[in-house]
Structure 1
Amino acid sequence: MKKWAIAAIVYLFAVIGGFNAYDVYFDNEEVPNGEAASHGSNEQHIGTVVHGHEGGEEKTGDVTPNFTYNDGKITIYLKDQNGNPVDDLEVNHEKLLHLIVVNDQLDQYYHLHPERVRAGQFEIAYELKDGAYKAFIDIKPKKLNYHVKPTAFTVGLSEETHRQNHLKADETLKKTVDGRTTEMVVSSFEAGKPVTLDFKLDESTLEPYLGAAGHVVILDEEANQYLHVHPHNENEPIFETQFDKPGTYKIWAEFKQEGKVRVFSFVIEIK
């Protein structure tokens, strides 16, 4: 073969090799954020979906509830950490959402059930007196972590401020409301141990309320620690809970008798 033919072949291979080296170099070079569509797409996907929960369950982040009260209407928005509506909730004792509202003196108590109006949004019309309050939004999302925390708000031009309350333990745990008497028997007043709250009342007139024999809500003196306790079985007004820290706690026990829901409140000291 003539020398010029051999030289042409060598030159052709050199050119092809150069293009391959160029492609490899630039394919491996780091691309600044936002300049490569494929890289940006992957980052967004990783940020919105987190896999790896057993049973096929996916977690997309904690729930952030937004609470507003305007002109006698309560509105609650439920969103995840990406701002998407949270609408996949478990029915918990016949309701998707339980709303507990108390004032700062803990002498006003409301157990409300806002209705779903659209994805992640609940509303209810309810007039509250002027004052300082805390709201507790009690839900059970199916695929997200959620912990009930207080939301402080004020109604009207109240001189009251959100301040620490000072409760005094009851001398007797027997209370009468509308002519009906209920006594609460506490198995232990020691922190860190299981506690049984056994309510003695006329069970012949007791009716199911939200699918149970009754409901109990417990707050600490600062209205920061929240417990919503249901009976250990659906037919008896006996509740099991635990107080993790010493302190003074207020307990609201709700029972339905003769078609009317009555709320019996107690204050106890845990040591």
Structure 2
Amino acid sequence: MKKSATTKDFFSGNNLQVTAFTHEFANPKERQEFLMNLAISSEFDMRHRGLLLYYGKDFIAYKREKPSDQIRNEFLRVISKFMANCLEDNCPPSWQQCQSAFWEELIFTFFPYSMKITPNEKEAETFLFQLKKFVRWLDRRTGTSWYSVVEKFAQEASSELTICERLLNALFLNDFPRIHHRDWNRDQDIEKVHQKFNQCSDKLDSLFEVTSRIEDTVVLTEFDTNRTYYIKGLPSKLIETGIIMNGMIGKRRGELVWSWFRTEGIYPQRGKKYLTLNTNPESN
């Protein structure tokens, strides 16, 4: 199977501030159980803090039902990172005390940031299906009633996330045309992009909203200043008004239009409320 890559696999991200904590085991049996759960959770990269919190216990129980299911594994990787990395100390104290905004942020903001680059472009469809399966299981296990909320969000998100996925893949294929080939030289291609970017005299790393298209030119509005930028070279046919694009743009001295570099994330308009300038959904 070909290895997939997330958007942040290509470029170094922001440093995260991590809250440390300690836990004393009551007896050897509790310690042994912790070590077993640690081994299971490591298969979907859950942070250690999750082992001592309610959601970690549920993720491990869900994993145990189908220990070899790699699709389930990938889903758990995304949602566990959302709980530990994105929400951090603001994580709800229980599933019962979650709000609908919790699921909305997961679907419309965090998942797009975590989306993988794959040849078949089915990540959005797969994630939404797996999320609904998990929430149905969760409702039965914990007595919550989140399925109807999540199902509604999933229906609303389906077409939007598919559009974002197609654009995300097109942008990466434009920069890294051999990304799905076994002999792809990742470092060499990244260096080529950096060399082109370094030739720019004007550079900007930010969040942008697509406000219009003029033939093959895409007009972006930057979040902080509301300044507009005219971008050439984007796959304009795949870009719709309202899409949020996170990345870097650059322009050589004397040029009138900008070029797009280094895609960090592509988000539907619905995810805008959870995005802030100079942050990513993993460290909000």
Q: TM-score, normalised by structure 1?
A: 0.28
More strand, by proportion: 1
Q: RCO (CA 8 Å, sep 6+): is it higher in 1 or 2?
A: 2
Larger Rg: 1
Normalized per residue, which structure has more helix?
2
TM-score by length of 2: 0.27
